[in-house]
Amino acid sequence: MSEGTKGGRRRRSSSLLYTEPPESMEHRSDQEALPNGNADWVNAKGAWIIHFVLILGLKLLYGSIPGISHETSWTLTNISYMFGSYVMFHGVRGVPFEFNAGAYDNLNMWEQMDNGDQYTPAKKFLLMVPVMLFLLSTHYTHYDLTYFTINCLAVLAVVIPKLPSTHRMRIALFSGEPEDR
């Protein structure tokens, strides 16, 4: 029995933040055996355009709702895109289809992209889009402090998980994830 275990169970850490341990040699070889269809699409031709289409669609949707001001529609567009981006790239772990024997089960899509390499063209683009949307939202809300604060918090919630210093870092608020490893 290793240190920190009691009766075959690991003891829980009191920390809300924990770092996912490195992949085993078996998992790394499984990851290299087949292409990752879950994350390889971000480098496909035309994949970057969808982000602009989504942002434009959200802006048109929120702009067409009666009673919503121009400023509020930009803020709602920003929040919606940031929420969707966070869930897609950082919130869900693993692969939605079973072809790789669970090789990516501990990695979110951001960590799966480009084999975990940082500062690739796709990752730079996906970091730039939220920042540019934040700048647009801030400009079109006329730098109002309330809108600025909301838009700033939304962009920080998406940009911080993309930074190399938070690679494989997890926040465990309601799950039993953090354990001494």
Token pair for residue 68? 């919503």
Sole residue written with tokens 């480009």: 114
Residue 11 confidence (pLDDT): 46
Beta pairing, strands 169-171 & 5-6: unpaired
Q: What is the pLDDT of residue 111?
A: 86
Are the beta carbons of 96 and 135 closer than 8 angstroms? no
- Please give the Cα distance from 153 to 83 (Å, whole number): 11
Phi and psi dihedrals of 169, rounded to 5?
-90, 140
What is the SS3 assignment for 110? helix
| Residue 11 burial (10 A CB sphere; 0-12, 13-18, 19+) | exposed
Q: How far apart are CA 55 and CA 129, in angstroms?
A: 10
**Quick one: pLDDT at residue 67?**
96
Tens place of pLDDT per residue across the chain (181 aa): 444 444 444 445 556 766 766 766 666 666 666 667 777 888 888 899 999 999 999 999 999 999 999 999 999 999 999 999 999 998 888 777 766 666 777 788 888 888 888 889 999 999 999 999 999 999 999 999 999 999 999 999 999 999 888 777 777 665 554 444 4
Where are the domains positioned within the chain? Answer: 5-171
Contact 113, 122 (CB under 8 A): yes
